[in-house]
Chain A
C-alpha cells in the first residue's frame, strides 16, 4: 500500500523550484555544530583524566576503536560521492549533499585523531607495540617486527597520517564539496556544466587514491595493533564495514532531517529503498569478505595468521565472534532482503540502527582484543568485563566531534545540491519506472 501511495504522490516528483521551498537548509539546527564540538572536547578531557590509572592505555584502545568507527562512515561517504560522479549517477543527486558534507568534513577527523598521533610520537603508552620494539616486544617476535621497521616507525606513521588527511581534504572538501556548493547559485549554462564535468573527471583518480589511502589507513590504525599479524584482505574488509556504516547513517540522517520538516517532498521512499538495497548488498559483501578472510586463515592454519582469530574466538570473546556471524551477517541478510522492509521507513531505520551498533561492535572486535593480548589481562568475567566505561565516553566524545564537524561544514549551505545540472532529473527518480 505504501508503494501505491508514494507512487501517487511522487510519480512525477517535484521541480527544482519546489525543492527550493522544501526547506533545504539546516537553519536553526546548524547551531548544534559548534556546541557538539565543545562537548566533544569536554568529554575527551573527562575521559582522559578519568583514565590515568593505567597510563591511559585502556582509554586509547577505546579511543582508536571509536575513532576508526566514525572515520569509516565519512570515508564511506567520500567513496560514495566519488563513485556516483564516476558513474555519472543522476538518481543520487538530490541526496548527494549529505555525503558531500561528510566527505567535506572528513579532513577534520584528522584533528580528532591527533591524540592517537601524539600518543604514537611520544611513545609513552603501550598501544602500538612497534612504537617501542626494543622494550615492548620480546623474543622471536622482536626480530620479525624489526624487519618491518621501514614501514612501522613513528616518523613514517606521522607522514602517512598527514598524507591521508591532506588527500581527504583535497578530494572531499576542495574538489567535491566546494565544487558542488559553487553550483548552488550559479546560473544554468556551460560554466556550471563544466563544474560537473570537472568533478566527474577528477573523481576517477580520486576514487583510486582514496581507496588506496583508506587501505593503508586501516592497516596503520587497526592492523598494526598486532604488528605480527597481516592479511591482504584487510583494506577491503574495512571498506565493506565503512559502506555499511555509511548507508545506515544516511537512512537515519534523512529520517531525522525529514522529521524536522526538511526535504520532505524531495527525498522519497524511492531513495530509502535504494539505501536499503545498498545496505543489503554491503551486508552481503561484508559477509563474503569476512568469510573469505576467516576461512582461508582457518583452513591454512598458519600460526602468525591464526593468532588474530585465536584470541577473538576463545574465552570471553567467543560470543562476539558468533554475534559477528549472525548479527552482522545472517540476520540482517534475511531482514534487508524484503522489499517491504526496504520501503518501510520505520523498519528500515530499525535495521539501520542495528547495523550501526553491529558495525561499532565489529570495530570493537577488531581493536580491543589487542588490549588483552598486550596486557595479558583476562577479563574473566565474560564479554561484559571487556567493556570499559571509556568506550562510552569515547563514543560520545568522538561522535560529538564527528557530528559537530558535519554540522559546521553544513552551516548555512543548502542540504541538497540545488543547482546541480541533473537535479531536475534526479527529483523524478522512481524505482518502479526504471
Chain B
C-alpha cells in the first residue's frame, strides 16, 4: 500500500490500484471488449459442445454427493430421527446448523442484485447472475433440513394454513412458522428476480441457437423477448421495483431465522442484536461463497475480462466489513453477558470460550474475525489464491458460528443433570456432505446451460453504452 503512494499517478492508473482507479473510473470490463465480444464470451460457455474437463470431474463428484443425500434422507425417513446425533438437551443438532448455514449462503445473491442495484454499484453486473443462482440453490439445500427434522415429513404440509379434517391450525406465535413464510417469500422473489433478469440473455441464446431443441427450450423461457424499446422500458421498471421489494427481504429472512433463537429465553440465544448480526453474518458467508465459486469459474470459463480483480477487490472489502460487523456482535454479546449480570448468561459465554465446545468457538472466531483481517492489504484482496483460501475459512467459520450458537447453548441448559455432549453421527456428516452435492449439482448445471454472466447488464456498464460517450462527449469537450 505504501508503495503505491510513492508512485506518480500516471503510472498508477495503469496498474490495478483501486484507490487511484476510482478517480479515473477504471473500466469494469477489461481487454477492450466490445458488445459483440461480451455476448461471445458468455454464450460460448453454453454453446460449446463440451465443457472443460474440470467441469465433468466436479459434476461427477456433485452427482455422487447428491446421491448420498438421497440415500441419507431415505435412511432417515425410513428409520427415524434417531439416526442423527440429536439428544436431550441438544434437540437441534446438525439439521438446524445446516439450515441456517445454507440460508446464510443464499443472502449474497439478493444483496448483490437488489441492494447494490439500488446503490448504483455497477460492478455488481459481472457477478450478480451466478450469485443469484447460488442463492436459489442454497435455499433449496436449506429447505430440506427443517422439512426432514419435523419427523413425519409426509405431513409437512401442515405447516401451511390449509384447512384440514383434523382442524389443525399452525401456531402463528411461533417464529418457526414465520420462517415458513419468510423463506418461501424469499425463494419466490429471488427466483423471479433471477429469472426476470435472465430473460434478455435467454433471448440472446435463443437467437444464437443452432439446434431445434435449443431453439425451442430457450425460446420458451425467453417469453417472446424481442428487445424492443418498449420492452426494455417495462423491463427496467419491473427490475427496479423488484429490487426495491427484495431489499427488505434481505433483512427480513435472516432476521426471522434469528428470531427462531432470539425469542427464546435460552442464554446465548436470547439477545437483541441477533437480527442485524445474523443478516451481516449471512452476507459475510454468502460473499465468501461467491468468491469461492467465482475464482475457479472465471478461470474455467474464460471470464477474466468480465469478472476482474477489481470485482474481487470490492467483494473482499465487503467480506472484511461484514466480518467485522459479526466481530462487533460477538464482542457486544460478550460484553453484555457480563454487563447484564445474569449469571446464566455469563456462564454460557464463559462456557463457549472455555467449555467442552471451546474448540468450535475458537475455530469460529479465528475464521470469521481474525483471518479476514488479511484483507486490509490490497495484495491479499487481489490475490486469487489468498482470497480463495480465506473464502474457504470464512465458510467454515460461518458454519461453526451456527454450530456454536445451536449446540453450545443447548448442551448446557438450566438443569445440570440434563447436560450432555452432542456428537454428530455418520448420517449427520453424510447429510451435510450431501447438501453440498445438491448445491453443486444445480450450480454446475446452471454454469453449463444458462447465461452465467448478465450479458445485457454488463454491456450497460461499458462506456459506449452511455450517451456521454463518443461524438457527443467529444463535442462537449470542445465546447
Using CB atoms and an 8 Å cutoff, list the residues of chain A in contact with chain B: 12, 88, 90, 144-145, 147-148, 151, 190, 193-194, 196-197, 200-201, 204, 208, 211-212, 215, 228, 230-236, 284, 288-289, 292-293, 295-297, 299-300, 302, 304, 421-422, 425, 433-434
Bound-complex Cα distance A293 to B277 (A): 12
25 A-B pairs, CB-CB below 8 angstroms? A88-B22, A90-B22, A90-B23, A190-B8, A193-B20, A197-B5, A200-B19, A208-B324, A212-B328, A230-B340, A232-B329, A232-B333, A233-B276, A234-B272, A288-B276, A293-B272, A295-B259, A296-B263, A296-B271, A296-B272, A296-B274, A300-B264, A304-B342, A422-B23, A433-B468
A50 shortest CB reach to chain B, Å: 36
Bound-complex Cα distance A212 to B335 (A): 12
A288 shortest CB reach to chain B, Å: 6
Contact between A148 and B341, CB atoms less than 8 A apart: yes
Contact between B329 and A302, CB atoms less than 8 A apart: no
Contact between A88 and B333, CB atoms less than 8 A apart: no
Residue of A nearest to B251 (CB): A288
Contacts of A235 in B (CB 8 A): 332
Contact between B23 and A232, CB atoms less than 8 A apart: no
B268 shortest CB reach to chain A, Å: 12
Contacts of A425 in B (CB 8 A): 23, 25
Interface residue total, chain B, C-beta cutoff 8 A: 41
Taking CB atoms and an 8 Å cut-off, the chain B residues in 11-41 that contact chain A are 18-20, 22-23, 25
Given contacts A88-B19, A88-B22, A197-B20, 13 further A-B contacts (CB under 8 A): A144-B341, A190-B8, A193-B9, A193-B20, A204-B376, A208-B324, A212-B328, A228-B341, A234-B272, A236-B273, A292-B255, A292-B274, A296-B271
Contacts of B342 in A (CB 8 A): 304
Contacts of B298 in A (CB 8 A): none
B262 interface contact, C-beta 8 A: yes
Contacts of B274 in A (CB 8 A): 292, 296
Residue of B nearest to A193 (CB): B9
Contact between B275 and A292, CB atoms less than 8 A apart: yes
Contact between A12 and B476, CB atoms less than 8 A apart: yes
Contacts of B248 in A (CB 8 A): 284
A183 shortest CB reach to chain B, Å: 13
Residue of A nearest to B12 (CB): A193
Bound-complex Cα distance A300 to B270 (A): 8
B1 interface contact, C-beta 8 A: yes
Residue of B nearest to A201 (CB): B1
Contacts of A230 in B (CB 8 A): 336, 339-340
Contact between B23 and A151, CB atoms less than 8 A apart: no
Contacts of B468 in A (CB 8 A): 433
Residue of A nearest to B8 (CB): A190
Candidates B5, B120, B336; contact of A194 at CB < 8 Å: B5
Contact between B251 and A297, CB atoms less than 8 A apart: no
B379 interface contact, C-beta 8 A: no
Contact between A421 and B341, CB atoms less than 8 A apart: no
Contact between B332 and A297, CB atoms less than 8 A apart: no
Candidates B263, B333, B466; contact of A299 at CB < 8 Å: B263
Interface pairs A-B: 10 shortest CB-CB = A232-B273, A233-B272, A88-B22, A299-B263, A292-B275, A230-B340, A232-B332, A231-B272, A144-B341, A293-B272
A282 shortest CB reach to chain B, Å: 13
B228 interface contact, C-beta 8 A: no
Contacts of B336 in A (CB 8 A): 230-232
Residue of B nearest to A197 (CB): B19
Task: Pick the most buried of A197, A204, A235, A295: most chain B CB atoms within 10 A of its CB.
Answer: A197
Bound-complex Cα distance A421 to B466 (A): 23
A69 shortest CB reach to chain B, Å: 22
Chain B 388-407, CB within 8 Å of chain A: the 1/0 string? 00000000000000000000
A25 shortest CB reach to chain B, Å: 26
Contact between B275 and A288, CB atoms less than 8 A apart: yes
Chain B 325-363, CB within 8 Å of chain A: the 1/0 string? 000110011001001111000000000000000000000
Contacts of A422 in B (CB 8 A): 23
Contacts of B332 in A (CB 8 A): 215, 232, 235
Contact between B272 and A232, CB atoms less than 8 A apart: yes
B164 interface contact, C-beta 8 A: no
Bound-complex Cα distance A302 to B259 (A): 16
A393 shortest CB reach to chain B, Å: 33
Residue of A nearest to B271 (CB): A232
B265 interface contact, C-beta 8 A: yes
B11 shortest CB reach to chain A, Å: 10
Bound-complex Cα distance A302 to B264 (A): 10
Contacts of B328 in A (CB 8 A): 211-212, 215
Contacts of A190 in B (CB 8 A): 8-9
Residue of A nearest to B276 (CB): A236
A294 shortest CB reach to chain B, Å: 9
Contacts of B23 in A (CB 8 A): 90, 193, 196, 421-422, 425
Candidates A151, A194, A297; contact of B339 at CB < 8 Å: A151
Contacts of A300 in B (CB 8 A): 262-265, 270
Contact between A302 and B341, CB atoms less than 8 A apart: no
Residue of B nearest to A208 (CB): B324
Residue of A nearest to B2 (CB): A201
Contact between B329 and A434, CB atoms less than 8 A apart: no
B92 shortest CB reach to chain A, Å: 18
Residue of B nearest to A292 (CB): B275
Bound-complex Cα distance A292 to B276 (A): 9
Residue of B nearest to A200 (CB): B19
- With A151-B339, A193-B23, A211-B328 known as contacts, the answer to whether A296 contacts B255 (CB < 8 A) is no
Contacts of A304 in B (CB 8 A): 340, 342
Contacts of B265 in A (CB 8 A): 300, 302
Bound-complex Cα distance A284 to B8 (A): 44
- With A232-B329, A297-B272, A300-B270 known as contacts, the answer to whether A147 contacts B18 (CB < 8 A) is no
Contacts of B340 in A (CB 8 A): 230, 304
Contacts of B25 in A (CB 8 A): 425
Bound-complex Cα distance A304 to B270 (A): 13
A227 shortest CB reach to chain B, Å: 9
Taking CB atoms and an 8 Å cut-off, the chain B residues in 230-260 that contact chain A are 248, 251, 255, 259
Contacts of B271 in A (CB 8 A): 232, 296
Contact between B22 and A433, CB atoms less than 8 A apart: no
B352 shortest CB reach to chain A, Å: 15
Bound-complex Cα distance A425 to B468 (A): 13
Contacts of A201 in B (CB 8 A): 1, 19
Bound-complex Cα distance A235 to B376 (A): 25
Task: Pick the most buried of B5, B272, B376: most chain A CB atoms within 10 A of its CB.
Answer: B272
Task: Pick the most buried of B276, B376, B466: most chain A CB atoms within 10 A of its CB.
Answer: B276
Contact between A296 and B329, CB atoms less than 8 A apart: no
Bound-complex Cα distance A196 to B255 (A): 38
A238 shortest CB reach to chain B, Å: 12
Bound-complex Cα distance A295 to B262 (A): 10
Task: Pick the most buried of A148, A233, A422: most chain B CB atoms within 10 A of its CB.
Answer: A233
Bound-complex Cα distance A200 to B378 (A): 13
A219 shortest CB reach to chain B, Å: 8
Bound-complex Cα distance A376 to B336 (A): 27
Taking CB atoms and an 8 Å cut-off, the chain B residues in 266-286 that contact chain A are 270-276
Contacts of B329 in A (CB 8 A): 232
Contacts of B476 in A (CB 8 A): 12
Task: Pick the most buried of B22, B251, B271, B466: most chain A CB atoms within 10 A of its CB.
Answer: B22
Bound-complex Cα distance A215 to B476 (A): 49
Residue of A nearest to B340 (CB): A230
Residue of A nearest to B255 (CB): A292
Residue of A nearest to B120 (CB): A434
B25 shortest CB reach to chain A, Å: 8
Bound-complex Cα distance A292 to B252 (A): 11
Taking CB atoms and an 8 Å cut-off, the chain B residues in 433-479 that contact chain A are 466-468, 476
Residue of B nearest to A231 (CB): B272
Task: Pick the most buried of A151, A288, A422: most chain B CB atoms within 10 A of its CB.
Answer: A288
Contact between B339 and A296, CB atoms less than 8 A apart: no
Residue of B nearest to A189 (CB): B9
Residue of B nearest to A144 (CB): B341
